[in-house]
Structure 1
Amino acid sequence: MSRRSILLKGTLILTLTGLCTRVMGFFYRIFLSHTFGEEGMGIYQLVFPVYALGFSLTCAGIQTILSRLTAKNTALGKEKEARELLYSGLLITVFLSCIVTLLLQKYANSAAVNFLRDPRCEDLLILLSYVFPFAAVHSCICGYYFGRKETGIPAVSQLLEQSARIAGVLLIYHIGKSQGVSFQISLAVIGLILGELASSSFCLYMLRKQETRRMHTPSFLGLARHAPKLLVPSLPLTGSRVLLNLLQSTEAVSIPLKLQLYGMTGREALSVYGVLTGMALPCILFPSALTNSVSTMLLPEVADLQAVKDRSGFLSLVRKTACSCIAMGSICCVFLFVTGPWIGRWLFHSSLAGTLIRTLAFMCPFLYTNGTLISMINGTGKTSVTFLINGASLSLRLFSVFLLIPLFGILGYLWGMLASQILVFLSCLIFLIRFSGKRL
């Protein structure tokens, strides 16, 4: 099968999977917003920066490096080495995730009070800590198959994760309701655990099934030999992602606080934050299922083009990807601008959600393109460049949080988000064009 056919097939599988999970997640969020209210959604969204930080510390960097090294070794016919890299990655990430789990459980109260500034998050953080070991297994195995450009198992695991999460929460909720038991928003965090448990179990089952057929058992020396190949290049990537997540966490925690400086009460500020992150942004990100699929497939594709020094193919890939994503984003921009008030009013029962969706619609052409361009830069191995670009983008958003929100409310933050997306778009294009001429 040709390179183009493999790319299109993988993108199609991931896109269909992404659309299914987005549709499921969209209605799931409607259920959460109706059941727990805007303030409950705000509390739930507050713990996600901690989730992202823990994921970055444990497996995000290794997953990216594992995918890239798997693509390289598979292209060279080194199947055994690729599998040993996977086993090394699993041992490292599961070990790190267990440490993060224990630390988060011990310091959940301090994190909730001093970092998230809301003691109600303590129970959510304790529950969230159990997610990381399962997420480590899931991410490593998916990274391995993405490197092999085999998207079937990651796609099914993604569907299974979303299905288990939603079905588990709905089942527990309705059983509890029939027994007269009322639940808090922590039920949604239990859903995260159920989803990762189901997806990691499926990935392990499929991996063991394939490895039994290949009759290959990795040796301890082989695992130890490959560990530095994963750890050394992943350290700067992990460090950059941790730093970016710390900035994102600062941003997330500061938004409700700065909204209070604008004149809102604590409850009103948390409700606005919940509407923005739990209703409006997921609606804007819904069409990105396609671009996320393209991003996933582009990383190993760019690594292949770089290996053979195909400058014209690289430039063609940049041009076609950018033009396609911009076109799709422009169509989505018009659609969301027109239908935003209706979506907020009829689906979320929130007029504020409709206003935010209409304002955020202008980001779509840049937002959908930036993910693919960032993935292409990571595919070249220049992860430090993506860190600088994302760091500049976050700095601009933090500027809007600390200086614009107290003056203009949440609208000031939305202006900062739009400006940051434009900055990322221009920076990525300039780098990719210059890189293709100088380095390929």
Structure 2
Amino acid sequence: MSRKQALIRGTAVLTVTSLSTRFMGFFYRMFLSHTFGEENVGLYQLVFPVYALGISLSCAGMELALSRCVAREAAAGRMQKARELLKTSLIFTFFISCMISLFIRQNADTIALTFLRDSRCSSLLFLLSYTFPFASIHSCICGYSLGLKQTKIPAVSQLLEQAFRILSVIFICMYCSGQGQNISIAFAVAGLTFGEIAASFYSLHSIRQSWKQISEKSRSVFLPPAAFRRHLQRLLEHALPLTASRVFLNILQSVEAVSIPVCLQYYGMPAAQSLQTYGVLTGMALPCILFPSAVTNAVSSMLLPTVAGLQEMKDRQQLRSLILKITCSCILLGCFCCGVLLILGKWIGIFLFKSPLAGNFILTLAWICPFLYTNTVLLSMINGLGKTTCSFLFNLFSLCIRITGVFLFIPAAGISGYLNGLLISQIFLFLCCILRLSVYAGKY
């Protein structure tokens, strides 16, 4: 199969998987709302910043770094080193995730009271802590598979994770209801762990099956200390900037969640109305804008190892052509979505959400589509080229603009100030990525 065919096929598989899990998640949220009530679902959502931060610290950056390094080794025909990189990442991320789990378990009460402002989250955090070791295994094996441009394990494990998460919660609720026992939102948090357990066991089994034809030495988990240190240093050179970027993003999202309603009150909006405005923006308008990102996220997952492989092979013409074609395609996709949302935005807000305000937000946010969708793949290409520090700095400056939009623009202009800050941040990120890739392609 040619490189182009592999990229298209992999993107199609991951896109279908992403859309499927999003539809499953949509109905799952409806089930949670009907079964547990809005207040308990709010508690469930409250622990997700801790979950996202734990994943970012333990394995998110390592997954992307592993994908790039494996792609380069595979392109050079060094599969033994690719397998050693996977073993190194599994050992390291499993250790880090266990430390994070232990920290959360020992400090669940403090985190719940100090950061989440609700003592009821303590038991949920305790259950959530068991998720991270399994998530680290799942993440590393997916990164290794994507580095080899193999999408079966990432796609099937993603579907299994979502299916086991949903079905385990439904079955537990049905059993407790039949026994006359109380139903707790803690079941939904336990579902996260069940989902990651299923995904990690499937991933380990699949890797074991794929390695049956190689020597016993290659299958061994043991690595010489010198090789472990050498591979870990290489992985961390790429993983640390990516991890820092993810952590900053999660911190920003937490800051936004707390600060936007408060800053709207500084603008003069009543507290209840400020919460309603924020809910319409994040729960109705933004999901509509982000829905097509299932395509660009799939493209970015396949692009990183593809770009790394072309760089290793020093295929200059192919690399420049790929950057140009993918960038233009994403811009066209963004422009098309922008046009559709400008035409149908008002109708979507009223028909789907019964909210004219959501329609207004969709119209405003439509202009962000060409930049938002393209930035995802541009950053993936930059990471694929090994310029993870650049992507970190670009993300950092873009996040600073968003924070400025929250604390300076909202008190002066209301929610439109934040939306303008969001648009400016995406344009800034787009220009930085385009400039960096242009300079690199010119020199390369």
TM over 0.5: same fold? yes
Q: How far apart in 1 are the matches of 2:260 and 2:123? A: 22
* Letter of the structure 2 residue corresponding to residue 201 of structure 1: F
Q: Which residue of 1 aligns with 2:106?
A: 106
| TM superposition score normalised by structure 1 | 0.89
Matched, 1:378 2:389: no
Q: Which residue of 1 aligns with 2:293?
A: 288
Native 8 Å contact 1:161 1:198 kept in 2: yes
**1:92-141 deviations in whole A, cap 9, x for unaligned?**
10110011111122223333333334445434333322221111011100
Native 8 Å contact 1:295 1:371 kept in 2: yes
Q: Which residue of 1 aligns with 2:60?
A: 60
Native 8 Å contact 2:241 2:392 kept in 1: no
Shift of 1:32: 4.2
**1:378-413 deviations in whole A, cap 9, x for unaligned?**
011111111111111111111111123334443332
1:431 to 407, 432, 436: 436
CA gap of 1:191–1:309, structure 2 versus 1, over 3 A, is same
Q: Which residue of 2 aligns with 1:220?
A: 223
Greater displacement, 412-421 / 82-91? 412-421
- Give matches, 1:317-336, under 5 Å: 317-336=322-341
- Give matches, 1:121-132, under 5 Å: 121-132=121-132
CA gap of 1:95–1:195, structure 2 versus 1, over 3 A, is same
Native 8 Å contact 1:43 1:274 kept in 2: no
CA gap of 1:336–1:109, structure 2 versus 1, over 3 A, is farther
- Give matches, 1:250-399, under 5 Å: 250-262=255-267, 269-270=274-275, 272-344=277-349, 347=352, 352-399=357-404
* Letter of the structure 1 residue corresponding to residue 440 of structure 2: F
Native 8 Å contact 1:26 1:283 kept in 2: no
* Letter of the structure 2 residue corresponding to residue 189 of structure 1: V
Structure 2: runs of 5 or more not aligned: none
* Letter of the structure 2 residue corresponding to residue 292 of structure 1: N
Aligned residues: 439
Shift of 1:40: 5.7
Q: Which residue of 2 aligns with 1:70?
A: 70
* Letter of the structure 2 residue corresponding to residue 51 of structure 1: Y
Q: Which residue of 2 aligns with 1:422?
A: 427
Greater displacement, 278-287 / 151-160? 278-287
Q: How far apart in 2 are the matches of 1:61 and 1:135? A: 13
Q: Which residue of 2 aligns with 1:50?
A: 50
* Letter of the structure 1 residue corresponding to residue 135 of structure 2: A
Q: Which residue of 1 aligns with 2:12?
A: 12
1:404 to 405, 409, 421: 409
Shift of 1:313: 2.4
* Letter of the structure 1 residue corresponding to residue 57 of structure 2: L
Greater displacement, 427-436 / 307-316? 307-316
CA gap of 1:253–1:184, structure 2 versus 1, over 3 A, is farther
Shift of 1:305: 2.2
The two structures, once aligned, show a CA RMSD in angstroms of 2.8
Provide the identity percentage.
56
Greater displacement, 402-411 / 425-434? 402-411
* Letter of the structure 2 residue corresponding to residue 195 of structure 1: G
CA gap of 1:318–1:242, structure 2 versus 1, over 3 A, is same
CA gap of 1:196–1:268, structure 2 versus 1, over 3 A, is farther
Native 8 Å contact 2:334 2:370 kept in 1: yes
Q: How far apart in 2 are the matches of 1:184 and 1:360? A: 37
CA gap of 1:301–1:107, structure 2 versus 1, over 3 A, is same
Q: Which residue of 2 aligns with 1:156?
A: 156
| TM superposition score normalised by structure 2 | 0.88
Q: Which residue of 2 aligns with 1:145?
A: 145
Q: How far apart in 1 are the matches of 2:178 and 2:369? A: 42
Q: Which residue of 2 aligns with 1:189?
A: 189
Q: Which residue of 2 aligns with 1:413?
A: 418
Greater displacement, 65-74 / 255-264? 255-264
Q: How far apart in 1 are the matches of 2:279 and 2:352? A: 15
Matched, 1:90 2:90: yes
Native 8 Å contact 1:38 1:274 kept in 2: no
* Letter of the structure 2 residue corresponding to residue 79 of structure 1: M
CA gap of 1:28–1:362, structure 2 versus 1, over 3 A, is farther
Structure 1: runs of 5 or more not aligned: none
* Letter of the structure 2 residue corresponding to residue 434 of structure 1: V
- SS of the equivalent of 2:212 reads helix
